[in-house]
Amino acid sequence: MTTLSRTVGAPVNRVEGKAKVTGEARYAAEFPLTRLAYGWVVQATIARGRVLSVEEEAGMRMPGVLAVITHGNAPRLQVVDDGELLVLQDEQVHYRGQTVALVVASTLEQARAAADALRVSYAAEPHDVLLSADHPRLYAPDHVNPNYPTDTLTGDVEAGMARAEVTVDETYSTPAEHNNPMEPHSSTAQWDGDRLTVYDSNQGATRVHQQLAQVFGLDRSTVRVLSEHVGGGFGSKGSARPQTVLAAMAARMLDRPVRVTLSRQQQFSMVGYRTPTIQRVRLGADRSGRLAALDHEVFEQTSTLYEFAEQTALFSRVMYATPNLRTRHRLVALDVPTPRWMRAPGEAPGSFALESAMDELAEACAVDPIELRVRNDAAVEPEGGRPFSSRNLVACLSEGASRFGWADRDPRPATRRDGRWLIGTGVAASTYPARSAPSTASVSAEANGAFVVRVTAADIGTGARTALTQVAADELGVPLERVDVRIGDSDYGPAMIAGGSMGMASWSWAVVKACRQLRADIDEHGGVPDGGLVARADTADDIAAQANLARHGFGAQFAEVRVDVDTGEIRVPRLLGVFAVGRIINAKTARSQLIGGMTWGLSMALFEESVMDAEFGDYLNHDLAGYHVAANADVQGIDVSWLDEHDDQLNPLGVKGIGEIGIVGTAAAIANAVYHATGHRQRHLPIRPDRVLSP
């Protein structure tokens, strides 16, 4: 086999693009199945208490209804750690919006009509749904997501603060925010005896496959999960959700395929969200701005069903050199749905607090905000002392400053004005872990000259299928057209989910290893025999043998804002991000991912906020009419670039994940720019007009 021109790094169009624009691509709710029935979820209308009764018989009399499944007649499930999956197992209500029944009918319309008419009686109990920094039930969880220490301490923070010449001690907050992927969560299940097949919208068929086997007490060989195309996930589809279990449960009871698709409103209580945070950040430094102490304490919430502790202070364990560093997380279990992953969990809210505090420190020390970050750049990981595999934060700041025109900035706040608009600029730093997880892949050489790659990856809109095609084509030395990458099928073997910015780094490692083995096998056989050849790879041992290094991507975010002095309206005419994220596989989809992350950061800064009603016990704005996200008119000029970074301590391709780092730091850069424009500090997100006008 001869090596052709390489495609890794090129701006290749999506290989599935035509299928998507023509409607040929099938999503979870589009697989045609014989005798398909439809389920509709009935949700609790109290925040805490018990279900007393469900008028099942009345529901069954509705047209087309096949079953009304409640805690009284639902099959018993196996006990698993994730209590959210143990649907309809008892009469307890843990939060408003929890599943209390499933109506199954011949059509979707019939199921929804019957669900709306179903009468459920409750015994309500007093509920508690509000997070506070002095909540009496706050506790220290055993660990924070996914398995980081809850608290860390290096040096003596209090002594460092006492010796500091300049201090910052402020509290920052971020609200609950909800994932809203374009494709709603949907699962279609069918049984063939004891064999379960599920068509599911998820970020990793392997994880859903494992969870379904556990909850139904099945051998994993009897479960198959398919997720061919996914219309967004952002963390909310990182594992099985209640509708997946409900579909499988109903299909088994009725002995026919059942599809359960959540409405937009139902997603606000059933698939996770970003926890609200209250963050106290204390910084101590000398007059030149060099840190003597950093203390980052976080308060956040979880549910009473399943503990999820977001790693919000993790950002501070990585960013800046200081001899005295302390991070802490405290959690309270409330009568609310379980928070889960949401794009850059931990780093997104954590960066807002620390990068805002760093801006405040720069002002207090009369040091340029970029220079302050450069002076505190870390040669080794601040929290653990491990060397970095690569760290190009300073280079990102320098390149960004040049591209943005930072040198022309007047550092004085509230000095630039254009008519009724105040103008300001701000900067913040970004980081995100660069990790890989064990994965498997196989590559087959077909007698007709084609190559088929099979890996249980997920393409949630990121372009993963295309990038893997580029990787395989280069490793095999063949044109892209000869490579067929097949993903989203748990039968292909275990693989990492599309999450934690670990997907491509993990899958590409397995694909590279399998391709190299296949090439060796072809050379050994003197070509491809009539029956073809197959090579399989597993990276578990490779990843376990990695050196003990701190692996991270870094970046710098720059923002220009315009603030209306009369209305408090904020416009963002310019955003710039410069990143050092290892080797880029596809320049076109990478740029799209980074722009998408920065757009979300803008949305986080100015719009996104789930509003809890304490008496009602639920988020009031649980749809896209009330939950505001950035729209086309809000997103103006966004520019992204990346450094040519080579890091051979990561994986065979030197890949760092890019799906999440784009959102990290964006909100802080915008908040810092708003301060520069107005002279008033914004420490609470979102930066609404009323907060601008009443600082």
Please say whether the beta carbons of 323 and 154 come within 8 A: yes
| C-alpha–C-alpha distance, residues 51 and 448, integer Å | 61
- pLDDT attached to residue 350: 98
Please say whether the beta carbons of 580 and 643 come within 8 A: yes
Q: Which amino acid is at 337?
A: P
CA 443 to chain centroid, in Å, comes to: 29
- pLDDT attached to residue 167: 98
Is pLDDT above 70 for 695?
Answer: no
Confidence of residue 492 (pLDDT cuts 50, 70, 90): very high
Please say whether the beta carbons of 606 and 570 come within 8 A: yes
| C-alpha–C-alpha distance, residues 451 and 70, integer Å | 49
| C-alpha–C-alpha distance, residues 160 and 382, integer Å | 15
* Residue 304 phi, psi dihedral angles, 5° rounding: -85, -5
Confidence of residue 550 (pLDDT cuts 50, 70, 90): very high
- pLDDT attached to residue 694: 85
Residue 142, burial from CB neighbour count under 10 angstroms (0-12, 13-18, 19+): exposed
Q: Which residues contact 640 (CB under 8 A, 6 or more apart)?
A: 576, 577, 578, 579, 591, 594, 595, 598, 662
The total of other beta-carbon atoms located within 10 Å of residue 665's CB is 35
- pLDDT attached to residue 6: 87
- pLDDT attached to residue 182: 95
Cα dihedral: 272, 273, 274, 278 (round 10):
-100
Confidence of residue 482 (pLDDT cuts 50, 70, 90): very high
- pLDDT attached to residue 546: 86
What CA–CA distances, in Å, run from 351 to 138, 307, 314, 683? Answer: 23, 23, 9, 12
Domains and CATH numbers, the chain: 17-26+437-544 (3.30.365.10), 31-126+180-270 (3.30.365.10), 152-177+273-434+549-693 (3.30.365.10)
Please say whether the beta carbons of 441 and 451 come within 8 A: no
| C-alpha–C-alpha distance, residues 540 and 550, integer Å | 19
> Which helix (H) or strand (E) element contains residue 102?
strand 99-105
The model's pTM is 0.97
The total of other beta-carbon atoms located within 10 Å of residue 569's CB is 15
Please say whether the beta carbons of 178 and 627 come within 8 A: yes
DSSP string, 111-136: HHHHHHH--EEEEE--------TT-T
Is pLDDT above 60 for 398?
Answer: yes
Measure the CA angle with vertex 216, ends 212 and 218; round to 5°: 85
- pLDDT attached to residue 547: 80
**Residue range 287-317, pLDDT digits in tens:** 999 999 999 999 999 999 999 999 999 999 9
Could you give the strand order of the β-sheet that contains 483-486, starting from the edge strand earlier in sequence? 483-486, 451-454, 440-445, 533-538
| C-alpha–C-alpha distance, residues 535 and 440, integer Å | 11
Enter the tokens of residue 420. Answer: 């009724």
- pLDDT attached to residue 153: 98
Q: Which amino acid is at 473?
A: A
**Residue range 614-672, pLDDT digits in tens:** 999 999 999 999 999 999 999 999 999 999 999 999 999 999 999 999 999 999 999 99
- pLDDT attached to residue 239: 97
Please say whether the beta carbons of 71 and 51 come within 8 A: yes
- pLDDT attached to residue 454: 98
Is pLDDT above 80 for 4?
Answer: no
Q: What are the beta bridge partners of residue 154?
A: 325
**Residue range 92-120, pLDDT digits in tens:** 999 999 999 999 999 999 999 999 999 99
- pLDDT attached to residue 5: 59
What does the pLDDT average to over 555-567? 98
Is pLDDT above 80 for 683?
Answer: yes
**Residue range 18-70, pLDDT digits in tens:** 999 999 999 999 999 999 999 999 999 999 999 999 999 999 999 999 999 99
Q: Is 660 a catalytic residue?
A: yes
| C-alpha–C-alpha distance, residues 503 and 342, integer Å | 15
DSSP summary character for residue 499:
-
